[in-house]
Amino acid sequence: MREVSVLGVGVHRFGKTGDDVVGTKSVTELCRHAVQMALKDAGVSWGQIEAVAAASSRFSGGKGWGLNGNDVVEDIGSTGIPVYNLSAGCAAGGNAFNVGYALVAGGVYDIVLVVGGEVMPKGMIQTSGVEEATDPEFLRQRCVGMPGPSFWATLARRRMFDHGTTEEQYARVTVKARKCSVGNPFARFQKEIGINDVLASPYVSNPLRLFEICPVSNGAAAAVICSAAKARQFTGKPITVATSAVATLDFSDALPRGLAGPVPAGPSFHTEAKAAVMRAFEQAGVGPRDISFTELQDNTCYYELAFPEEWGLCEPGEAQTLLESGQTTPVGRMPINPSGGFVSFGEATTAMGVWQIAELTWQLRGQAGARQVPGAKVGLAQTNGLGGNATAAILKR
């Protein structure tokens, strides 16, 4: 396997249809902006791209068939290059990055573009795309009455029982996230809010409030990756992809996502996320204490507390204490989501994993401005998606 480098990255600022940020732009227009920015950042031309790995979804673009990569190629230039389209829900961008990484590491191509973009429908995401009695996601939402916010609320309530987490501590996650996003030119929300603002926002599903759940957004992100040998032709300080990993849930998972799985002996939540992160640690030859900062999927503030504990970044029940003492800020000992996270960007599903790669790259280059993690050397990115999909990537300088 060859060493892989990130050569260039690009992001279209996140927003919503009709606002001053994205207006009425199509997903292809959003992707065009991100791709052109990544090409310029990499110092390469479109003609030098040898393949495209693209994340797609049922929400927008792709000719109605999830062919987002083909739309991008037709828009920028039909050079005849191969396109790899894939869908993995909110993990699609991370999966696309994994495909691009494997293609370069395996010596199939020298330079690959990874891209994801989304124009989201209004309202909370309904994960099931069909009314089908054999679809467990449809049955969970229709028969059990658990769309996303209710699903997350059960996790948040369980944490309150296990670790004494309070509603005020959940609110502080959002306060910290929005403070990080001030001045981040790509975040949808760039203004600070106080704890009283969060606690005054209405409940969506008790104990989670409106400001504690990421909204849906439109946005796009792209990354140009290449072999380390090729990168040295363009830069003397490339960002190295230590690894990219993918996993799915296993039989020990205790979350209500299926109908035929056995009942586990004890609580084990989001086994796919932990498996991807542990696999990434092993493949990269690093441990939790080696991570300078983490960009994780915070669909809701619960995850910013739970995931670091599950992955060994801190002890069980410790994350809320670290939060309150300022240790999860960019200048703390365990920075989490210095970008502002999903809570500040909103979720453009297929773009998220690629946007995280862009954020890791800027942090490791020292280009993150006010949200910069001092001396950042190793960054971890993580996403979860429908169907028990999960990804993790580790970048280093």
Query: CB-hemisphere CA count at 13 Å for 334?
Result: 23
pLDDT digits (tens, 9 = 90+) for 226-247: 999 999 999 888 899 999 999 9
- For the cut 90, the answer to whether the pLDDT of residue 279 exceeds it is yes
Give the largest CA-CA distance in the chain: 57
Q: Give the integer Cα–Cα distance in Å for 75 and 288.
A: 41
Q: Is residue 175 part of a domain?
A: no
Q: Where are the alpha helices (DSSP H) in 270-340?
A: 271-284, 301-310, 319-324
The contacts found for 62-68 with CB under 8 angstroms, 24 or more apart, are 62/27, 68/27, 68/31, 68/115, 68/116, 68/117, 68/350
State the average pLDDT over residues 55-66.
81
Mean pLDDT of the chain: 92
Q: What is the DSSP letter of 145?
A: -
Q: What is the dihedral of CA 370, 44, 351, 217, to 10 degrees?
A: 60
> Which region among 49-58, 76-85, 259-268, 288-297 has the lowest average model confidence (pLDDT)?
259-268
Most confident of 23-27, 95-99, 252-256: 95-99
C-alpha separations of 315 from 28, 224, 277 in Å: 43, 36, 16
Query: If you search the block for the tokens 């296990």, which residue do you land on?
Result: 162
- For the cut 70, the answer to whether the pLDDT of residue 261 exceeds it is no
Share of residues in the chain with pLDDT > 90 (%): 80
Q: Is residue 184 part of a domain?
A: no
Give 264's pLDDT tier (boundaries 50, 70, 90): low
Q: What is the pLDDT of residue 144?
A: 67
Contact 42, 234 (CB under 8 A): yes
Q: Is residue 45 part of a domain?
A: yes
Q: Give the integer Cα–Cα distance in Å for 92 and 85.
A: 10
> How many structural domains compose the chain?
1
> How buried is 51 (Cβ within 10 angstroms: 0-12 exposed, 13-18 middle, 19+ buried)?
buried
Count the Cβ atoms, other than its own, within 10 Å of residue 124.
Answer: 15
Q: What is the CATH number of the domain that holds 318?
A: 3.40.47.10
Higher pLDDT, 217 or 121: 217
> How buried is 350 (Cβ within 10 angstroms: 0-12 exposed, 13-18 middle, 19+ buried)?
buried
Q: What is the pLDDT of residue 148?
A: 78
Q: What is the pLDDT of residue 57?
A: 83
SS3 337: coil
- For the cut 70, the answer to whether the pLDDT of residue 357 exceeds it is yes
Q: What is the pLDDT of residue 11?
A: 98
C-alpha separations of 130 from 61, 66, 136, 347 in Å: 18, 16, 11, 21
Contact 217, 117 (CB under 8 A): no
> Which region among 143-147, 280-284, 344-348 has the lowest average model confidence (pLDDT)?
143-147
Q: Is residue 281 part of a domain?
A: yes
Q: What is the pLDDT of residue 121?
A: 81
- For the cut 70, the answer to whether the pLDDT of residue 167 exceeds it is yes
Q: Is residue 218 part of a domain?
A: yes
Q: What is the pLDDT of residue 64?
A: 79
- The tokens for 214 are 């990421």
- For the cut 90, the answer to whether the pLDDT of residue 132 exceeds it is no
Q: What is the pLDDT of residue 249?
A: 84
C-alpha separations of 194 from 124, 137, 199 in Å: 24, 35, 9
Q: What is the pLDDT of residue 237?
A: 86
State the average pLDDT over residues 372-376.
98
pLDDT digits (tens, 9 = 90+) for 172-208: 999 999 999 999 999 999 999 999 999 999 999 999 9
State the average pLDDT over residues 104-127.
88
75: domain range? 4-122+213-396
Contact 59, 120 (CB under 8 A): yes
Q: Is residue 183 part of a domain?
A: no
SS3 48: helix
C-alpha separations of 217 from 60, 124, 130, 391 in Å: 12, 11, 22, 21
| CB crowding 10-43: b at 16 or more within 10 Å, else e | bbbbbbbbeeebbeebbbbbbbbbbbebbbebbe
Beta strands per DSSP E along 298-388: 378-385
SS3 37: helix
Give 134's pLDDT tier (boundaries 50, 70, 90): confident
Q: What is the pLDDT of residue 267?
A: 62
Q: Give the integer Cα–Cα distance in Å for 129 and 159.
A: 30
State the average pLDDT over residues 311-329.
97
Q: Is residue 302 part of a domain?
A: yes
Q: Give the integer Cα–Cα distance in Å for 171 and 207.
A: 10
Q: Is residue 199 part of a domain?
A: no
Q: Give the integer Cα–Cα distance in Å for 308 and 316.
A: 9
